[in-house]
Amino acid sequence: MKILSHSLLAILISGAFFSFAFADDKPIDTTGLAVEKLSFDKSDTAALNIARRMYGRTFTYVKAIRVWLEEPNDDPEQLFLKVGTGRNCERDCYNIALFFNEQWLEIYRRPATDNLGLTTVGPMGMKSIVEDGRRWNWTGSNYAASVNMDGVTERRANEEELQLVNRQLGEDIDAVTATSFGPPDVYVHEMTLKTGGEKVIVVNSPYYCGQAACPAFVVNKDGRSFRKIYSIDGAIGVSKTLRDEHGYRGIETLSRNGVAVISPATGAILETIEPQPVSIAGTVK
């Protein structure tokens, strides 16, 4: 993160400046990509003193470690905290990331987890934060969540699935797009939504997506499409814990507001995981 002007800092903190970097929004494979695991077993004394000055009045439990969120340089002013109330962080327990940029900024705050780590530096100049397998990517102005792909298998669509897409769209996708955009990429995301064997088929092409989201079709184990949804870049995941009123696990998609978790049964949004706001460190939330 480069040093920001006071005016840009104010815009970031107010939330008026917002962008998504979708080129790298797929979650990491934590088994195949090295992740630096973070632990608060040994708190850094100097970091702890800084953290207590800002958060000690609100939280009785404070631990802090120094981290690199960007490439190492001469100004290692980046911290990760674990704060909460109660002797052992029993209540209101959070992980917080701080970045010093003319002043201490809070750039990430989420319920605390022991499964916390960092990736290598991404294309936007900052490491992604991995929280229980979900990657939070730095967009250039904030951290935004990626969809959860644990339990999702991705592959190209076969002929039968392509025909299903043709019927749902009401046109032959190859014929419509061949002259201007070329045939679309059609991917299948296999997952267990309720009983197993379900899948989501995504159509990714400028012709169908335009400047908005790509269409996707939720298909049951019998091969019947029963829900049309949309996701930016065709990113599709599945919720680990959230289910709708009919017992279906929520499907995670990307929207301009963050990760939208959608009910397969009704199409309603069950939850939106919004990008992290940037604020002055120590601000009461």
Q: What was the pLDDT predicted at 28?
A: 40
pLDDT tens track for 164-206:
999 999 988 888 777 778 889 999 999 999 999 999 999 999 9
Q: What was the pLDDT predicted at 188?
A: 98
Q: Can you tell me the mean pLDDT for 141-163?
A: 95
Q: Read off the pTM.
A: 0.84
Q: Can you tell me the mean pLDDT for 11-15?
A: 48
Rounded to the nearest integer, the mean pLDDT of the chain is 87
- 198-204 CB contacts, 8 Å cutoff, 24+ apart: 198/264, 200/229, 200/236, 200/251, 201/157, 201/161, 201/164, 201/165, 201/225, 202/231, 202/234, 202/236, 203/165, 203/169, 203/173, 203/234, 204/233, 204/234
Q: What was the pLDDT predicted at 264?
A: 97
pLDDT band at 76 (very low <50, low <70, confident <90, very high): low
pLDDT band at 221 (very low <50, low <70, confident <90, very high): very high
Q: What was the pLDDT predicted at 154?
A: 96
Q: What was the pLDDT predicted at 34?
A: 56
The closest alpha carbon to 185, from 211, 164, 209, belongs to: 209
pLDDT band at 285 (very low <50, low <70, confident <90, very high): low
Q: Can you tell me the mean pLDDT for 243-270?
A: 97
